[in-house]
Structure 1
Amino acid sequence: MTNPGGPQLLGMDAVWVATFLSVVACMAVIIAIYSAATVRDPMGKRVKALNERREQLKAGITATTSKKRAKLVRKTETTDRMRQLLSKLQVLQEDQVKAIQQRLAQAGIRRKELAVTVIFSRMVLPIIFGGGVGLWIYVLGGVPDWSAMKKFGAFAAATILSYKAADLYLTNLVTKRTDAIRKGLPDALDLLVICAEAGLTVDTAFNRVAKELGRGYPELGDEFALTAIELGFLTERRTAFENLAYRVNLDSIRGVVTTMIQTEKYGTPLASALRVLSAEFRNDRMMRAEEKAARLPAIMTVPLILFILPTLFIVIIGPAACRLGDAFSKQ
């Protein structure tokens, strides 16, 4: 119920508006406290998965239990059916599969068979969502007030977005993972320098850095731990470094990989080369921060005009407007 004699704010009772905003603020505080109190270890599942991967690679099998083996068999059968259907339709290309497999690896997804699923989704999702929107618009008459151009625009947008949905999702994952790895790379190189000067081997140094940076940078710790595992069992250490560059879409990682390969090949000092790279990456990170800081005033202009200034005007002028309204209503 609203109080007709009470203060009004944009046509609504100011007491009810303040109550609603107080409830929203209390809920936000409760959610923030819950999020801060339930922090989980981000490396728990990753360490477990890496240990399982180590055992699988050493034993030469794809599963350690019958339950996992049956699950993998079912997934493989489903993927094989998708592959057969795409091959019959002549839409499956090996180069396309390899490119998607690399994108999956860069997104932190280790299952290469999902590349066929991504290609299959490009064919199925437009039929499901695009066809559903077309059926709803043109057959069922869902939006009779729209013009023909608006109807076609909605149908085309649904079809295109459903076709690009898997690619957009992968691109988002790759971007977030790459940014997280870029932030922790200078610290990782500093730790590698310390480990190299302490006399540790390369695989032990990578493993040590992965453990130290696992909590702060779980993505980088995951990649370094997997590289340490591959350095331990692969016949050519060069392949392990190349796999690291394959899994991370970052020029800085490629520079580190090139340095590691040259050090392994020519016997050049590893610590000095990594120290130079670390200083370069730190300067690059500082330049990125300064660039973002320089763009901040221009970016904040639109939110300032749309959100901050109207709220400020309401807070300042609102009480006076409510009093004037009450005064005129009494007269």
Structure 2
Amino acid sequence: MNSSNPTLLGVDIYAVATLLSGIAAFAVLVAIYAALTVRDPMAKRVKALNRRREQLKAGVVAPAAKRRAKLIQSRESTDRMRHFLQSLKVLQDDQVKTVQAKLLQAGIRSRDLAFAVIFARLVLPVVLGALVGYIVYGTDALDWGPLQSYGAVAGALILSYKAPDLYLKNRIQKRSAAIRKGLPDALDLLVICAEAGLTVDAAFHRVARELGRAYPELGEEFSLTAIELGFLTDRRQAFTNLASRVDLEAVKGVVTTMIQTEKYGTPLASALRTLSAEFRHERMMRAEEKAARLPAIMTVPLILFILPTLFIVILGPAACSIKDALIK
């Protein structure tokens, strides 16, 4: 490393600036590519729904011995990952089921990707940890002390191990927030459909079609529920699958209401109308809570950025005038 270049914490500032410039240029190219290749977001969702319909149809029509072979299509790479994990004795059924549930909540329908997530937890710390360890200890690129070097390697190991879970958690939170936003409107439409005399599966189809553009995540879940209501022998299982695919207590409340309606024959419209009012009130309470936190959140930006600029604008001309007067 050239010692004549300025450094910060032992890192060459010019090298970091060059790296950041390259990342910024790559980000600009990716943004241009994404803007020029805009795709219909519903096309992929409709394809996934059709695939689910064909899977359910194959499970109903095919003999019992062939159902599993038609419903589960294993890929060669997934099989290799599964065999590798089984050979190391690190693959547990509870762990696989937990990851599969998170994948469904994140909107990823392939259950085989659970083995890829577990495989990434095992491989990423080894690869990234070895790479960071080689850069820190095996080269002279970073002039760091023992504590800084150990922190970098330990941070790389922890971050690489948690990276798949953090990615899934982020997707689950975004998807849940999008579904929560459109749930009151969906319940209002369900009330209208129920009062119009539509069946439950037809009402779900109608709501999914009406809200598919505004709330695509919610429309996809309602479409899947409508498909499962038409194919599954136990209709309650379709509602249970909806509750397991969405990580929201509000959806679990709707599912409980639908199951009780199917079981006891209670009026569906009145129950859904009550739930819709509660969800709208809850949404308003969340908005008021965010508004109440706004002054405390804006305190630090106000002190660091707004007030110094305001002082410069207000006191700057006065300071210049005083300086000119003193010089004269």
After superposition, the Cα gap between the structure-2 partners of 1:38 and 1:94, relative to the gap in structure 1 and judged at 3 Å, is closer
**TM-fit CA distance, 1:197:** 0.3
Candidates 155, 158, 161, aligned match of 2:156: 158
Would the aligned equivalents of 1:181 and 1:220 in 2 still touch at CA under 8 Å? yes
Amino acid at match of 2:149: K
Corresponding letter in the other structure for 1:177: R
Unaligned runs of 5+ in 1: 1-30, 62-71
Cα distance in 2 between the residues matched to 1:39 and 1:296: 35
Q: Pick the aligned partner of 1:218 from 206, 216, 219.
A: 216
Runs of 5+ unmatched residues, structure 2: 1-30, 61-71
SS of residue paired to 1:199: coil
Do 1:196 and 1:202's aligned partners in 2 also have CA atoms closer than 8 Å? yes
Partner of 2:4: none
Report if the CA contact (8 A) 2:205-2:222 is conserved.
yes
Offset at residue 40 of structure 1 (A)? 6.3
Q: CA deviation at 1:147?
A: 1.5
Letter in 1 for 2:146: A
1:122 aligned counterpart, secondary structure:
helix
Match of 2:12 in 1: none
Deviation at 1:170, TM superposition (A): 0.3
Match status 1:238 vs 2:236? yes
The amino acid of 2:258's aligned partner reads M
The sequence identity of aligned pairs, in percent, is 70
Q: After the TM superposition, which residues 148-187 of structure 1 pair with which residues of structure 2 at under 5 Å, given as runs?
A: 148-187=146-185
The 3 A distance-change label for structure 1 pair 39 and 132 is closer
CA distance in 2, matches of 1:156, 1:169: 20
Counterpart check, 1:133 vs 2:145: no
- C-alpha separation in 1, matches of 2:161 and 2:219: 34
- Quote the Cα distance in structure 1 between the aligned partners of 2:213 and 2:176: 17
The C-alpha deviation readout for 1:221-279, integer Å capped at 9, x for no partner, is: 11001101111111110010000001001111111101101100111110011111111
Query: What root-mean-square deviation, in Å, do the aligned CA atoms of Structure 1 and Structure 2 show?
Result: 2.8
Find out whether 1:102 has 2:101 as its counterpart: yes
Q: How do residues 1-331 of structure 1 correspond to structure 2 at under 5 angstroms?
A: 41-60=40-59, 76-144=75-143, 146-316=144-314
Residue 138 of structure 1 aligns to a residue whose secondary structure is: helix
Contact 1:125-1:163 at 8 Å conserved across structures:
yes
Amino acid at match of 2:140: G
Deviations 1:105-148 (A, max 9, x none): 0000000001100010011101111111111111113322x221
Q: Please give the per-residue CA displacement for 1:15-36, whole angstroms capped at 9, x wherever unaligned.
A: xxxxxxxxxxxxxxxx9xx97x
Q: Distance in 2 between matches of 1:99 and 1:225?
A: 24
